[in-house]
Structure 1
């Protein structure tokens, strides 16, 4: 009998340490985050820092696994993947929602929302909350807004694009069918294509001119095959990270708070970083030999008068229910 008690006590002693291990295993959280940016992009760095912050604050209980450069899923596969729960989170550029959620294009309407003071106010604003509500109806929950750019550069090889007349007959890279209305309005022939394909198209003559943000013009070496560049606050772009709401709601309140607070920190960190990257990119384009023209206020007004209304009109047709409200909220910032 005494031996039996000793065996039971020993068994209990061996089993006891396993309970905390089991509890830790059940509490562990994995968050797979897919995005399209290469590891060198400023957003990739911010998302790695976000993952590290979450891991530190949760004492290792939350493992955010970041998959850059479409390693987990292609850009077009991210939304259905997160909505179905195939993975927990993804990042998208706002205008990539296209016709699926046309109101998301409001941020990128030409000359509508490019002042840094207003951009700083966007995360957490009624405008952001309105778009987040629309995302919620699409079975995803927004987590953070990462400021991407507010300065476009129109590059060209034969002559600079300074006046609206300079666009006539120019084959130019467009962003999407919506913003292409601005380019056709001034006589250009836009052709939408993914950013990585643009350098080859410019070098081969398929395109005469490029449209991108100043940082991408450096990373894709536009200065090697485009002589001129006109810099203008033509658009604003945000990249946002969204999560599967069913997964997020199953997390403990403590874990949700850690992820949310770390996301807010990433939003704050991204704004000065993007401005710094853009300033360095502009200086590098000049140093590499590109003739860069920074648009004057008068030139900006002329471009805006010719380009903005056709895009706004098309936007309101594309988003008849919420487009006007989205513009109103953005203008109120």
Structure 2
């Protein structure tokens, strides 16, 4: 009996030992798997998004750094960088560092320069409908012009440059343009006869001066001072700040306020350059141009007052046309309107009807 009991205990003990042995053998096999998992987790760091590289654009400006339109360029550049959170940056090159106006426009068209601020006059070669915005005496006053430019009509004019490989972004204040010369005071239409005036490189501007009885001479802006000084031309036509900052008052002291045209300034970009810009950032650039416009107008108006005072103190003779003389100037524009208005009659009517 005892032998039988001992045999049973031995068998149970052997089974228990086998069970423990099995347990010890299985446990180490599981441990490496846990260690491997822990190590794999520790060696997989969280990836950070790569920084976005800013697109840097060059903006060409013919005027000096302290000129109202150049100050508007700088404000535009500041707003673009701020509103795009640094994705788009604009470097402004003033004082014709990248070339004169017409040359720069051609460089923008082929994408060699990214942006420029320019008068629409030389741009009419690429977008003829812009002539409507610079027709003599088309605006009643500055408020009328701004109501046109900031309306759907103005937006359509911005779009009109797209077919020539440009992107229109916004408008700047051009001021009222007046005649000045080195020869004599101008009080009537007859006084213009025979005088040689520099005009912008625009067919309409040449036709306008010819219709007034004077001789138009297209020249780059940077050559006007020496051309008056040497007698190649007798004078030019421009606004108060340009007459002042270009020092033209030193060689042409007779300034006549006739207000023949207001030629809007436009910010244009190369459509090639804009391919680097997202649709969202392009919309931001247009918004920034609109905001910079208000800033530029404020600087422009202050500069007009300052410039007039400066040239008067320097000895310039200022003559303001009488209403009768101004009406005579306007009446002389009939052939200009006949030539340019025929194709754009409806558009001209829309502009004139804006309140």
Q: TM-score, normalised by structure 1?
A: 0.84
Unaligned runs of 5+ residues in structure 2 are 1-31
> In 2, distance between residues paired with 1:33 and 1:177?
26
Contact 1:33 1:65 in 2 (8 A): yes
The structure 1 residue matched to 2:196, chosen from 162, 168, 171, is: 171
Deviation per CA, 1:148-202: give whole Å up to 9, x if none: 112x232223321110011122222233332222322232222121222111111
Higher CA-based Rg: 2
Alpha carbons of structure 1 residues 167 and 253: separation in structure 2 relative to 1, 3 Å? closer
Q: TM-score, normalised by structure 2?
A: 0.80
Unaligned runs of 5+ residues in structure 1 are none
SS of residue paired to 2:217:
strand
The Cα shift of 1:32 comes to 2.9
- Match of residue 201 from structure 1: 227
The structure 2 residue matched to 1:218, chosen from 235, 244, 258, is: 244
Aligned length, in residue pairs: 320
The Cα shift of 1:77 comes to 4.4
Question: Over aligned residues, Cα RMSD in angstroms?
Answer: 2.8
The structure 2 residue matched to 1:25, chosen from 52, 70, 74, is: 52
> In 2, distance between residues paired with 1:119 and 1:51?
25
The structure 1 residue matched to 2:347, chosen from 314, 326, 331, is: 326
- Match of residue 287 from structure 1: 313
> In 2, distance between residues paired with 1:4 and 1:72?
62
- Match of residue 268 from structure 1: 294
The Cα shift of 1:57 comes to 2.9
> In 2, distance between residues paired with 1:230 and 1:199?
18
- Match of residue 313 from structure 1: 338
The Cα shift of 1:132 comes to 2.3
Deviation per CA, 1:9-63: give whole Å up to 9, x if none: 45x44x73xx33x1x225x333332333332221111111111122223332321
Contact 1:177 1:192 in 2 (8 A): no
The Cα shift of 1:253 comes to 5.5
The Cα shift of 1:217 comes to 0.9
> In 2, distance between residues paired with 1:208 and 1:243?
35
> In 2, distance between residues paired with 1:78 and 1:183?
25
SS of residue paired to 2:268:
strand
Contact 1:168 1:187 in 2 (8 A): yes
